[in-house]
Amino acid sequence: MILSIALVVPLLGALALAGYPHWNAVQVRRLAMGTAAVSLAALIVAWLGFDPQGPQFQYVTELPWVPSLGVAYRLGVDGIALAVATMSALLFTAAAVYPVDTRGEPRGYYAWLLFMQGVSLGVFLTLDLLLFYVFFDLSLVGMFFLIGRWGHGRPQLSALKFFLFTFAGSLLLLLAIIGLYLALEPHSFDMRQLIEQRPLAGGGLYAGLVFLALMLGLAIKTPLVPLHTWLPQAHVDAPGPVSAILAGVLLKMGVYGMIRLPLSMMPGTFARYAPWVGALALLAIVYGALVALGQGNLKRRIAYTSINHMGYSVLGIAVAASAWGDPAARQLALTGASLQMVVHGLITGALFFISGSLWQRTGGYELGRYGGLAHQAPRLTGFTVLAAFASLGMPGLAGFVAEFQVFAGTFAVYPWLAAVAIVGILITAALFLDMLRRLFFGHLPASLGTFSDLNRAEGLVLGVLSLGIVTIGVYPSFVLALLESASGALVGGR
């Protein structure tokens, strides 16, 4: 019930905004904030009531929908889904609070934002494979309009590229989902049954193809190199809060999908391909970091670090899927990978909000135009330094806890992959410190003489996200308990 509230309230809010044209901009924004916050509050309540020692899936709701096809409205969460969903709801609330130029169409903007929140939470909360796919696809639609209508630069082109590319991934995913559905007797889209019965455990060509389609579809969304080229373009042209959602929530759907579908439903097949998936993740880690270092555009740089960071997540998942290795190490890697999803949402979300603020003040992302802002905007500098250090894995902040677990777990299973992946943190350190240097230190260009510091709404959003980053950094046990309950079931349950 509580999950349904989290899911339905934003959708109702979106409907209300779309249907009732008489609210003014302030009222629209307030409604959006309120609705998003209700959804967030529902998930927090669910978190507080979640029993880590209890069954794997909790808060399960099931309403029959199309019984003949085995489709039903099924909701339920394990620890990983709940943590990622709560982070997403927080990010959506932050996006609603964050001031943005809505080009005179606040109603449309906030309606699409709430729609996105509903369908994105749907992806994480549902236990029905078909619903999962539907939500997965609907999120593309929402993002398409948000980028295309409220973006800058060449938004239509970016939105189209984003949509077509990721939609191709969705189609593969659909094929795979149908494959899984048909393999289950009696046919059903119930994830719990698929996880329990593992219809394709026998392996063979069919299982291999289904796995391949699943992974390809999810890898596009994650994204893994070389399927990532839609990402930087979409980010550069999207408004700041939309970028934060894109990186913070949409990318997670790919990684979360890997945990929920291939890792849970066909671990035997995954185990065979795990080293290859790990190697691809390694490519994303090193290549993503290096390409990010080569960018002179702030947003492209942050976008490429997302590829690097999601690489850690996928690496952890591949380790968890491995056929050999100590279960404790594999569980550590999976816990790290799922924590990485949560912290990447907070950190990269914060970084994209920040780049949105810079855009609103100067209209440019070229690092070369900036410099010396530390004196002009000390609060902005403080938050950016914190987020950048969190992103480069500084202990005491959230990123370290996740990446350390992935490294330690990976080393015990695939030492060579870990040894190379570790270089990634050196490159990310270089690129973030270089970014800080070029934005905030050195001489202040004359054109930035009137640059103003963060306003209250921006400060509030970044303050809350930073609080989350620091809290997870020094007191991660409250998240880890939740994630470990899920990762234990996933790794131990084979």
Q: Which is nearer to another protein, 125 or 374 (CB)?
A: 374
Query: Quick one: which segment of 10-18, 261-269, 312-320, 417-425 binds another protein (CB under 8 A)?
Result: 417-425
Q: Of these, 3, 143, 172, 261, which contacts another protein (CB under 8 A)?
A: 172
Question: Which of the residues 464 through 483 are near another protein (CB under 8 A)?
Answer: 476-477, 480-481
> Considering beta carbons, is residue 263 or 374 the nearer one to another protein?
374
Peptide bond into 186 cis (omega under 30): yes
463: contact with another protein by CB under 8 A: no
Q: Based on the shown chain and the rule CB under 8 A, indicate whether residue 211 belongs to the binding site for another protein.
A: no
- Whichever of 67 and 204 has its CB closer to another protein, that residue is 204
- Scanning 26-34, 316-324, 345-353, 436-444 for contacts with another protein by CB under 8 A, the matching segment is 436-444
Q: How far apart are the first and last CA of the chain?
A: 30
Instruction: Tell me: does residue 448 bind another protein (CB under 8 A).
Output: no
- Residues between 215 and 244 with contacts to another protein, criterion CB under 8 A: 216, 225-226, 228-230
**Structural tokens at position 347:** 């950190």
Between CA 412 and CA 416 the distance in angstroms is 10
Token duo for residue 489? 């079931």
User: Taking a C-beta distance cutoff of 8 angstroms, is the pair 355, 314 a contact?
Assistant: no
Q: Out of 55, 66, 196, 326, which residue is the one contacting another protein (CB under 8 A)?
A: 326
Binding mask 348-387 for another protein (x = CB under 8 A): ------------------------x-xx--x---------
What's the rounded Cα separation, in Å, for the pair 231 and 248? 13
126 phi and psi, to 5 degrees? -80, 155
- What values do phi and psi take at 366, rounded to 5? -70, 120
Q: Which of 17, 425, 454, 491 binds another protein (CB under 8 A)?
A: 425
Count the residues of the shown chain that bind another protein, applying the rule CB under 8 A: 73
Residue 492, interface with another protein (CB under 8 A)? no
Q: How far is the CB of 476 from another protein (least distance, A)?
A: 5
- Span near another protein by CB under 8 A; candidates 4-12, 16-24, 234-242, 321-329: 321-329
Please classify residue 116 by burial: count the beta carbons closer than 10 Å to its beta carbon, then call 0-12 exposed, 13-18 middle and 19+ buried.
buried
Please identify, using beta-carbon distances, which residue of 19 and 449 lies nearer to another protein.
449
The one-letter amino acid at 88: S
Closest approach of another protein to the CB of residue 329, in Å: 7
Q: Does 82 bind another protein (CB under 8 A)?
A: no
Local structure of residue 446 (DSSP, 8 states): G
Candidates 13-21, 55-63, 395-403, 450-458 — which segment interacts with another protein by CB under 8 A?
395-403
Question: DSSP assignment of 16-53, as one string?
Answer: HHHH-TT--HHHHHHHHHHHHHHHHHHHHHHHHH--TT
Q: Which is nearer to another protein, 46 or 291 (CB)?
A: 291
- Residue 412 binds another protein (CB under 8 A): yes
CB 129, min distance to another protein, A:
15
Strand, helix or coil at 314? Answer: helix
By the rule CB under 8 A, 489 interacts with another protein: no
Q: Is 163 left (phi over 0), alpha (psi -120 to 50) or beta?
A: alpha
**For another protein, which is the closer residue by CB, 127 or 329?**
329
Report the distance separating Cα 70 and Cα 74, nearest Å: 11
Helices (H), 441-493: 456-474, 477-492
Q: Which of 293, 314, 377, 465 binds another protein (CB under 8 A)?
A: 293
Of residues 296, 169, 142, the one with CA closest to residue 230: 169
Q: Which of residues 129-158 bind another protein (CB under 8 A)?
A: none
| Cα dihedral across residues 141, 143, 146, 152: positive or negative | negative
Amino acid identity of residue 467, one-letter, is: L
Residue in the block written with tokens 């099924």: 74
Please pick, from the candidates 15, 141, 433, 448, the single residue that binds another protein as defined by CB under 8 A. Answer: 433
Question: In this structure, what token pair is assigned to residue 452?
Answer: 């103003």
Of 93, 207, 172, 170, the C-alpha closest to 465 is 93
Spatial separation of the C-alpha atoms in residues 199 and 19, rounded to whole Å: 44
440 binds another protein (CB under 8 A): yes
Range 22-51, binding another protein (CB under 8 A): none
Of 41-49, 119-127, 242-250, 430-438: span binding another protein (CB under 8 A): 430-438
Interface with another protein (CB under 8 A), residue from 21, 22, 67, 443: 443
* Residue choice 291, 319, 334, 491 for contact with another protein (CB under 8 A): 291
Structure tokens at 55: 């069954």
